[in-house]
Amino acid sequence: MSSYQDLLAQREQLDKQIKEAIAREKSDGIAKAKLIIEQYGLSASDLFSRKAGVKNAGGKVAAKYRNPSTGETWTGRGKAPKWIDGKDRSSYLI
């Protein structure tokens, strides 16, 4: 059975081996990636396209209601403006 001090020494040795393995594998991965990038002439925009699976957060929403007397519009989100608040909204639909 190992003593506490022996186990701590083993852990330090394993931590060192883990760090070395991570650095080695990271270096290998970078080298492979660079080779593929050069081989196919890829650019950063090819690799990190924002189009795939990313929604436009905070984008504008089309107006859903219009005040016929002033032309003001409202999307139907957030607090209702005074001109439609408490009224039947079907008559204001665009």
Does the predicted model carry a pTM greater than 0.75? no
Q: Which of 53, 40, 11, 80 is nearest to 92 (CA)?
A: 80
Give tens-digit pLDDT for 74-91. 999 989 999 998 889 888
d(CA 84, CA 67): 8
Residue 55 scores a pLDDT above 70: no
Are 65 and 37 contacting, i.e. CB atoms less than 8 angstroms apart? no
pLDDT per residue as tens digits for the range 62-75? 999 999 889 899 99
- Percent of the chain at pLDDT > 90 equals 62
CB 84 within 8 A of CB 94: no
- Closest by CA position to 92, among listed 75, 69, 67: 67
Domain regions of the chain by residue span: 4-47, 56-94
